[in-house]
């Protein structure tokens, strides 16, 4: 294998050359380089259709790479500080599934942060692993979850024998990171791997003002959403391994099972290009984005009725550091809920936030944003504040989260067993067949295989009465809950 500079793009170059050669295509995909596609797709995608190829001669095979894809993955590993890197075309979710499946089998215990992404639950179902849940810390003022403390992980490992791995989310959706170095030290004392859902942290490697990347902090595996923060196409992600605790051969086998055999070359080429972009100009691009984020955070603080937070909170429970490009804006002081503010921004001002929860808006400031756009957002927020003058501040009525309920049946068994809906009021003592998550704080109250305890039932009835956003159950109004 030839040695290539980090800013090389072997896969992009190979695809470009294939399209340039004008090869007559008697192979998939059926649109034949765009010749057979509908006019609207040709208008939308143009040159991209000619580059939408498959694993023909010279373009390698994702599941058995030995050419340009192998080169591209090796360059990604060098760039991100990994021993081995895998391209993902099924999103970061595929990486989370793979980390669990590569380290845990049926019945194996895995410590999992309770603020898990739904992909982690899917990984538990696929693997048949036995989750040992640990609660992250909560920020009462903003109503959002922070990270998990190392001491919490240590207690779980001391209490439960035979744990095969630990999986945490870092950073959170809101950009908060926990003390991964301390967690890694705790986990490695038990000689098991630390797995990190780093979907929102692929950029940490490319500027000193970002938190420490997971691999540098001691993680053995990390899945990153290149499409979320960098310039990859949607679903383009990376899975990194570092150190001896996760077997790369086993990981490759797992990914062959999980990923499509028709891997999109457009997605993989975007990974190749995004990595090279960071090598060539990442520091300069993030300099600009960080400056814009600082401007947004500073001026939001000057708008009456709005609140935000920054690194001044570092050192509080579950808050070790912050990705400054994630700006959370608390709108309760305007008498608005988060969804109301999001709707106003979108349909009155033509601005779309990343997301909203009960009383917060989340904005991701990237190197694709401009100063003019940030100033437009600030004008829109100021306009909302002026219009909201004198409105009463909404009063949160959230009780404390109940304890994690007992796990009576493993998630995999609960997924496959027959279930039926029962009125929520009569669900006490039953075993849940589904996940129920309330926003805020975005932490599951109930998961598949868990017993509906009196405390859980009281909490669910309270959040239903409050009209808070509920995610997961088949009945989004939570009039009924599916139970085994």
pLDDT tens digits for range 69-103: 999 999 999 999 999 999 999 999 999 999 999 99
Tell me what pLDDT residue 393 has: 60
Three-state secondary structure call for residue 40:
helix
- Do 204 and 237 belong to one domain? yes
Q: For the segment 446-473, what is each residue's pLDDT rounded down to a tens digit?
A: 999 999 999 999 999 988 887 777 889 9
Q: Which of 20-24, 32-36, 359-363, 395-399 has the lowest mean pLDDT?
A: 395-399
Q: Are residues 367 and 456 in the same domain?
A: no
Measured CA distances, 134 to 76, 113, 147 (Å): 32, 5, 10
- Alpha-carbon span 275 to 267, nearest angstrom: 13
Q: Which two three-digit tokens encode residue 443?
A: 């932490």
284, two tokens:
């300069």
pLDDT at 11: 95
Question: What pLDDT band is residue 442 in, cutting at 50, 70 and 90?
Answer: confident
Domain of 355, CATH number, reads: 3.90.1150.10
pLDDT per residue over 362-390, tens digit each?
999 999 999 999 999 999 999 999 998 65
* Spatial CA neighbour of 119 closest among 177, 167, 82, 86: 167
Are residues 189 and 242 located together in one domain of the fold? Answer: yes
What pLDDT, on the 0 to 100 scale, is given for residue 3?
A: 55
Strand blocks (E) in 29-162: 84-88, 109-113, 130-134, 138-139, 144-145
Same-domain check for residues 91 and 204:
yes
Q: Which of 397, 86, 412, 379 is nearest to 254 (CA)?
A: 86
239, with CB counted inside 10 A (0-12, 13-18, 19+), is buried
Q: Are residues 67 and 117 in the same domain?
A: yes
Task: Examine the domain organization and report whether 30 and 171 are in the same domain.
Answer: no
305, 340 contact by CB (below 8 A): no
φ/ψ of residue 64, rounded to 5? -150, 60
CA distance 199 to 141: 25
Classify residue 426 by its DSSP letter: G
Q: Is the pLDDT of residue 284 over 60?
A: yes
Segment 312-317 shows an average pLDDT of 95
Per the domain annotation, does 4 fall within a domain?
A: no
pLDDT confidence of residue 396: 54
> Residue 52 CB: number of other CB atoms within 10 A?
21
Ramachandran class of 247: left when φ > 0, alpha when ψ lies in -120 to 50, beta otherwise:
beta
- Please check whether residue 107 is in contact with residue 100, taking contact to mean a CB–CB distance below 8 angstroms: no
320 lies in a domain? Answer: yes
Please give the mean pLDDT across all residues of the chain.
94
Res 392: pLDDT: 61
pLDDT of residue 159 exceeding 80, the answer is yes
CA atoms of 220 and 251, how far apart (whole Å): 12
Give 122: exposed, middle or buried? Use CB within 10 Å, 0-12, 13-18, 19+: middle
Residues 6+ apart with CB under 8 A from 5: none
Q: Are residues 115 and 238 in the same domain?
A: yes
pLDDT value at residue 443 = 86
Per-residue H/E/C for 204-259: HHHCCCCCCCHHHHCCCEEEECHHHHCCCCCCCEEEEECCCCCCHHHHHHHHHHHC
Do residues 377 and 425 share a domain?
Answer: no
Q: What is the pLDDT confidence band of residue 2, given thresholds at 50, 70 and 90?
A: low
Domain stops at, among 387, 403, 437: 387
**To which residue do tokens 């939001």 refer?**
300
What is the model's pLDDT at position 1? 43
What are 363's strand-pairing partners? Answer: 327
Distance CA 55, CA 74 (A): 19
381 versus 48: the higher-pLDDT residue is: 381
**Would residue 106 count as lying in a domain?**
yes
Check pLDDT > 80 for residue 145.
yes
The confidence band for 484, taking pLDDT boundaries of 50, 70 and 90, is very high
pLDDT at 395 over 80: no
Residue 359 in any domain: the answer is: yes
Q: For residues 339 and 467, what is the distance between their CA atoms, to the nearest angstrom? A: 12
Q: Do residues 357 and 469 lie in contact, with contact meaning Cβ atoms separated by under 8 Å?
A: yes
288 and 150 in a common domain = no
**Residue 479, domain member (yes or no):** yes
Q: Is the CA virtual torsion 459, 465, 468, 472 positive or negative?
A: positive
Q: Which helix (H) or strand (E) holds 157?
A: helix 150-159
Domain containing residue 181: CATH number: 3.40.640.10
Distance CA 304, CA 331 (A): 10
Give me the phi and psi of 322, to 5 degrees please.
Answer: -140, 140
Same domain, 420 and 448: yes
Q: Residue 108: is it exposed, middle or buried by C-beta count within 10 angstroms (0-12/13-18/19+)?
A: middle
Residue 361, Cβ density class (10 Å: 0-12 exposed, 13-18 middle, ≥19 buried)? buried
Give the torsion through C-alpha atoms of 207, 211, 215, 217, to 10 deg. 130
Residue 147 within a domain = yes
Do both 95 and 176 map to the same domain?
Answer: yes
Q: How confident is the model at residue 421 (pLDDT cuts 50, 70, 90)?
A: very high
In this structure, the answer to whether residues 115 and 234 fall within a common structural domain is yes
Contact of 75 with 246, CB cutoff 8 Å: no
Between CA 320 and CA 185, with CA 169 as vertex, the angle to 5 degrees is 60
Range of the domain at 28: 20-53
Residue 264 has pLDDT above 80, yes or no: yes
Q: How many CA atoms lie within 13 A of 455 on its CB side?
A: 11
Is 344 part of a structural domain of the chain?
yes
> In this structure, what token pair is assigned to residue 309?
């937070």
Helix %, strand %, coil % for the chain, to 5?
40, 15, 45
Residues constituting the chain: 484
Number of domains in the chain: 4
Residue 7, domain member (yes or no): no
CATH of the domain at 431: 3.90.105.10
């Amino acid at each position: 294998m030839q040695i290539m500079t980090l800013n090389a793009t072997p896969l992009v170059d190979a695809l470009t050359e294939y399209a340039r050669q004008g090869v007559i295509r008697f192979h998939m995909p059926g649109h034949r380089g765009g010749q057979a596609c509908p006019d609207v797709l040709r208008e939308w995608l143009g040159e991209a259709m000619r580059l939408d190829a498959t694993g023909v001669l010279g373009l390698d095979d994702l599941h058995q790479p030995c050419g340009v894809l192998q080169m591209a993955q090796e360059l990604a590993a060098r760039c991100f500080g990994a021993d081995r890197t895998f391209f993902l075309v099924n999103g970061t979710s595929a990486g989370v599934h793979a980390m669990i499946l590569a380290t845990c089998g049926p019945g194996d215990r895995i410590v999992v942060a309770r603020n898990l992404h739904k992909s982690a639950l899917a990984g538990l179902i696929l693997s048949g692993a036995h989750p040992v849940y640990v609660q992250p810390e909560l920020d009462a003022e903003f109503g959002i979850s922070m990270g998990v403390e190392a001491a919490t992980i240590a207690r779980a490992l001391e209490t439960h024998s035979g744990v095969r791995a630990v999986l945490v989310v870092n950073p959170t959706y809101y950009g908060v990171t926990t003390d991964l170095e301390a967690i890694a030290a705790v986990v490695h004392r038990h000689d098991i791997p630390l797995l990190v859902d780093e979907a929102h942290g692929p950029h940490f490697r490319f500027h000193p003002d970002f938190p420490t990347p997971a691999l540098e902090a001691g993680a053995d595996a990390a899945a990153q959403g290149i499409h979320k923060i960098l310039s990859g196409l949607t679903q383009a992600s990376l899975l990194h391994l570092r150190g001896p605790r996760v077997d790369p051969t086993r990981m490759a086998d797992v990914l062959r099972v999980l990923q499509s055999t028709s891997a999109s070359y457009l997605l993989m080429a975007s990974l190749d290009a995004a990595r090279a972009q960071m090598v060539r100009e990442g520091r300069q691009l993030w300099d600009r984005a960080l400056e814009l984020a600082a401007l947004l955070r500073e001026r939001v603080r000057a708008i009456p009725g709005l609140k935000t937070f920054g690194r001044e909170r570092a050192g509080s429970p579950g808050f070790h550091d912050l990705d400054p490009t994630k700006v959370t804006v608390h709108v309760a002081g305007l008498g608005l809920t988060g969804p109301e503010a999001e709707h106003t921004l979108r349909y009155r001002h033509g601005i779309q936030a990343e997301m909203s929860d009960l009383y917060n808006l989340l904005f991701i400031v990237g190197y694709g944003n401009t100063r003019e756009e940030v100033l437009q957002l600030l004008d829109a927020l100021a306009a909302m504040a002026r219009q909201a003058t004198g409105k009463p501040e909404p009063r949160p009525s959230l009780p404390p989260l109940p304890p994690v309920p007992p796990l009576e049946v493993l998630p995999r068994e609960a997924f496959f067993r027959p279930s039926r809906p029962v009125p929520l009021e009569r669900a006490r003592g039953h075993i849940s067949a589904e996940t129920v998550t309330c926003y805020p704080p975005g932490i599951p109250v109930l998961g598949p295989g868990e017993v509906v305890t009196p405390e859980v039932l009281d909490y669910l009835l309270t959040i239903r009465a409050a009209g808070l956003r509920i995610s997961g159950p088949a009945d989004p109004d939570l009039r009924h809950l599916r139970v085994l």
